Chain A
């Protein structure tokens, strides 16, 4: 992890500009591992100062997936705080900058939900489903969004 992902300039920039970065040893920092229910490494969490968890990943992430995860995590924090415009901006970044990422489909899903929650326009949900159906078929997110098909 240190030799590949964390030495990438874009990853360094994104983490340094947006987060307080913390490394905890699963064996030695057991109190925190128990508190956040962490059982395997690497596990990445995005938490706010009140310890609300906005995103979690278990397992190694190569550079592109890490950038997508961090961007999606920032979007999810905004979503959880009902800052839907900020959230949509971040979800759009995932969709356009990392379209091959496994997280792009999740970003489409949450972009649709954010659009709906912002203006209560159900067409946001059906648009999200159409995009998932055409671009990310057979993903779990396409299946979850299939109830929005109209």
Chain B
């Protein structure tokens, strides 16, 4: 990239970062006891990649079952367990750990510090999260308790009361669900506290809030949102366990309790959770899009303001998941309007990304391709979201495949696409090797084609009236062909993810040497070596603009002359 700029500085003496390789046990021990934010970030990402494959397999089995009417691959009971585990895993063991993994790895490097604010809390949070994940999956063996052969939670990822009451869900499956999420919730809380303290208190000299990379800004906002999002779920799950073990009556309709209040509590968590997941995806796009169109991000202050606005508005929209529960007209109108209001700051963001692309010299590398896919799909996801926010429309389509298609457009089309983009973008920083571009493009195109075959078609299944959470259907409903198409699309996505996994592993040993700054980027993580040394920076940098590495590369034309 020397045609663009001067070489970046070598932040460290390379001899210092060379470590002697110990035995397998020694290096395993080093990874287990590590408090280094970079290693923990990698652990988070490997952990969630593992569960991505597990939950993806569950999704494929679900699709196999639904490919034909009256299919017998999964029994009704196993089907219920699989969609519960698929949802729970993807949200809690894949989505959040992925994003916190990136936060762990990238944020301290971007803000120019040597570690997170509380390194040991960081390690503790990771191991709590990991323990929660494995506890959840142990339910396949231990969920039935002493009697029965074992079963996983089968109450849906939202676990509506009173189905979760002891009389309707005997055994321990539901307890595994609640306990595993309480444990990993504490881990999440610890990480959120850590990220906030790091960003507020550990920024390098000169990095004022309005010079912080947007990635760090959005992770700060996400962490603040997480604080007030994950705790209501923990509270509700405490109540559920009190009901199940101590004979409480929170959700016991026989004793005057209300199942409605569980739905409220769950979505008070559940809707902001969507933003907890999608804001880091925005954060990733904010870093990648400018680098690959060779322009500074358009409208930086507007991006920050829009993100803060999303944080606040997202706390007041939860009941749009509950239009069919039966609320007053006033509530329906309020939540319809507040949901539409979220579209405003989100729209601002989309316009800013398009304006960043406009007139840029775009390089279509794999991370950029994923980001462009994200922009396109997130727009559609937003538009179907606006459709569903209209309560009469929602009455018609609630709990149909239209809703499934809508939220998978957000969770896969936006978030998973950005996660893949981030892996291709930061993999060279973490390993020193570039991922293979040819395989990356195969991954992108297969995944995008498979994605659209699956989830575009699902919208029509929903419009034709196919409800969610059914394990099979009658052949005369007119859903047969579309279901087969959806399943084929799922298979194509599965193949694409296998190509990705192969590329991920192969590039570690065979990838091209990346160098410190393979993309000619502008933020501080690219000033240090790849992989960075344990201490990140030999000397703590001092920054004067939003693009400190640009200033270093272009001393004749630094950014600070243009920024207010």
Chain A partners chain B: no
Q: Which residues of A contact B (CB under 8 A)?
A: none
Q: Which residues of B contact A (CB under 8 A)?
A: none
